[in-house]
Every structure is written in C-alpha cells, then in structure tokens.
Amino acid sequence: MSKLQEGAIAERIAHIGDQFAISGDFLYGEELRNGHINTTYRACYRTEDGHVDRYILQRINDYVFKDPALVMKNVEKVTRHISWKVLRRRKNAAGQTLTLYPARGGRNYIYLPEEGGMWRCYNNIEGTHTYDVVENTRQAYQAGYAFGSFQELVSDMNPEDIRESIPDFHNTPKRFAALQMSAAQDIMHRADSCAEELALIGTWSPQFSKLVDMQKSGELPTRITHNDTKINNVMLDEETDGAVCVIDLDTVMPGLSLYDFGDMVRTATCMASEDEPDLSKVHMEMPFFESLAEGYLDATHDFLTQKEVDMLAFSGWLITVEIGMRFLTDYLDGDKYFRCDYPEHNLVRTRNQLALAKSIHAHLPRMQKHIRKLVKSYSN
C-alpha cells in the first residue's frame, strides 16, 4: 500500500472516530481483515495525560444485515444484560463483554452515507489476542468455555426479546433449498465446476431437517445464541490464553444451543484454516474435540436438557455441512456474501468444509461416547 493510500485510510478512520465519544487526539488507525463480513478499523488516540487508548470502529454490512438498526438493538440488549449480570456476580472469567460508545445524537451507532452506511464504536479489549486456528487443547477448552459461558449469561433472557437479524440463519433445509436454486439458475456458469460437491451434499440431505424438526416439536428449546462461534470470536488473555470475552455479536438471535456448539466443532477441532486447499490437512483432531466439549459442558451442564446433550456430536457434523453449503451457494451466486481474495476462494472453502464433515462423521461414535462420559462426571 502506498503512503498516499495509507494517508487516505488514516483520514477516513479519523473522520469516523470523530463521530463518537472518544477523548484524545487521533494518532493512527489500521484495518483489521480477519472477518468475512463487516469493515473493521482499530483507531488509536492519545489522551491529555499521555495515555494511549484504542477503539474498534466497525461498519455493519447492510447487504448481509438488511436492518442494521435491529442488529444494534440486539447487541445493546445482550451487552447490557451481560454487564449487569457480571457486576452482580463479580466472577466468571469469560464474562466480560464489549462496551458500546455513544455517537453524535446519543445513539450507539451513526449513519454515515459518505462512509458506506452504519458505524459503531467498541472498546478495544487490551491484553488479549485471537487465533484463526486452534493450536492446542487448552485453546479448544477455552473456546468451549467462553461460548458456553456466553450462553449461560443470557440463559435467563427471554428469546422473544431478541429478533432475528438474518431470518432462518441456521435453517439447514432452507440453506439446502437455496443451494439447489443457485445451482439451477447457475448465473455465473460455475455449476459444472462443483458438480461433485453438489452431488455429495445431496446424498446427505435427508438428515438436514433433524434439528429444526426437533425444535418445532418442542424437543429442543429455543435459546438466545451467538450463531458465529468461530475461535477468532473469542478474546484470549495474552499471558494465560484464558477466555476473556466473546465478540462479534451481530448474529445473536433466538436459536438452538446446538448451532453454537456445532460451529465450535467446525472451527476449533481442525488445525487447518477453513480455506486450506490441501485437503490432506483437513481433519478433526479428537483431543481438541474432547477439550472443547469439556470446556463447553463445564459452563452449560446446569441448564442444558438431555435432548440437547444427545445431539451435541451430530450438530458438529450438520453445521459443518451447512457452512459448506453456504460457501458453495455464494460461489454459484458470484461471491456476494463472503469476502473473497480470488475467484475460486469460496469453492476452496466448500471443499475444505465437506472434507472436514466427512472426518467429523467418522468420529461421531467416539464423540458421543466422550460426551456421555463428561455428563456422567457432573452427576457424581
């Protein structure tokens, strides 16, 4: 990037930051590119006493989130509830939450048409870091514990108080129907390049409705869930790797606890990134799953139902297939949803996720056995 481009980005970040209740003089800013959806900047300011504070400025992607104001209402309700609960308890190491800074006009967001839409400002949680890929079993445990703690902290909220920011986000049968429609329309003429993947997904389709059917029948309770439980959405302490905070709350919606756990299995049990093209590197690590499940159940075993526990292992397979379908749908539609670095990026992601789904499926008996062992230990 040229110095001219860097200067233009810094000027843009300073302009956006000036819309929020940030004290001090702007020093510099940088773009954070570890997310698929929103545009995110980190801005640094020097206060009058010489202290340097950092903030996160983020534009809500209105192609993905059709009603950004609704997203912000959900985020505000959840962050306030978690803050209230943590203050009352004064414990739970994974119970910190993001702080929203008010914008001009008093709201926690501001619409800037010249900067692409709606923006918000969060605190930068210092002394923490994230991982895009789990590197050891301790990190897997902390990821499970962090998202399990998040579910526990909001478990006493009424799911009806939170609205769907993306309707049917984890409705796997509808995701499959959307994929079939995109393949039939084939507007980018890409269907021939993924015929094998489409056929494989089709053979799995009879199992896609299992969780939504159990929810409709009342066998699985509707809860407030995060719905994007990637390992890089957990802030970990730089010194201890202990869970500090769950971030990226845009997809917090009514849903199933299993959607969160399933996506954790997808992202925290494989040492390869989700766009690794070498499929020989893409497989589930059973020790990572064991630690992940232990961390999650340490935080949730008091309120999960037996039916939820019974479906934990299956959810890991289902959500991995579902995400693979979403990547493939976006590939067929012309890469409108996920940020791509090259034309075949979404197809590489698809093949990666389907390979991981095969590996998870092969491990299902061992996964279920380990979960039963953990559950038994809590009753002793």
> Is the model more confident about 191 or about 128?
191
Does the pLDDT value for residue 26 go beyond 70?
Answer: yes
CB 267, CB 274: distance < 8 Å: yes
Does the pLDDT value for residue 95 go beyond 60?
Answer: no
- Give the model's confidence band at 92: pLDDT under 50 very low, under 70 low, under 90 confident, else very high: very low
SS3 100: strand
Tens-place pLDDT, residues 146-177: 999 999 999 999 999 999 998 899 999 999 99
pLDDT at 4: 46
pLDDT at 10: 87
Tens-place pLDDT, residues 221-265: 999 999 999 888 998 888 888 888 898 899 999 999 999 999 999
Domain 129-379: homologous superfamily in CATH: Aminoglycoside phosphotransferase (APH), C-terminal lobe (3.90.1200.10)
Q: Is the sign of the CA dihedral 68, 70, 75, 80 positive or negative?
A: positive
pLDDT at 90: 52
Tens-place pLDDT, residues 293-330: 999 999 999 999 999 999 999 999 999 999 999 999 99
Does the pLDDT value for residue 42 go beyond 80?
Answer: yes
Residue ranges per structural domain of the chain: 3-65+99-124, 129-379
Does the pLDDT value for residue 33 go beyond 90?
Answer: no
- Give the model's confidence band at 17: pLDDT under 50 very low, under 70 low, under 90 confident, else very high: very high
Mean pLDDT computed over every residue of the chain: 91
pLDDT at 144: 95
State what percent of residues in the chain have pLDDT above 70.
Answer: 95
C-beta contacts of 185-190 below 8 A and 24+ residues apart: 185/332, 186/332, 187/332, 187/333, 187/334, 188/331, 188/332, 188/333, 188/334, 190/331, 190/332, 190/347
- Give the model's confidence band at 99: pLDDT under 50 very low, under 70 low, under 90 confident, else very high: confident
pLDDT at 93: 46
Residue 92 has a CB neighbour count (10 Å cut-off) of 16
State what percent of residues in the chain have pLDDT above 90.
Answer: 72
CB 74, CB 82: distance < 8 Å: no
Token pair for 14: 């300073």
Residue 189 has a CB neighbour count (10 Å cut-off) of 8
- Give the model's confidence band at 34: pLDDT under 50 very low, under 70 low, under 90 confident, else very high: low
67 — alpha (psi -120 to 50), left (phi > 0) or beta? beta
Average of per-residue pLDDT across 58-65: 88
Burial class (CB in 10 A: 0-12, 13-18, 19+), 197: buried
Token pair for 236: 């970990």
What gap in Å lies between CA 303 and CA 213, rounded to an integer? 21
Apex 258 CA angle, 256 and 260, nearest 5: 90
pTM beyond 0.85, yes or no: yes
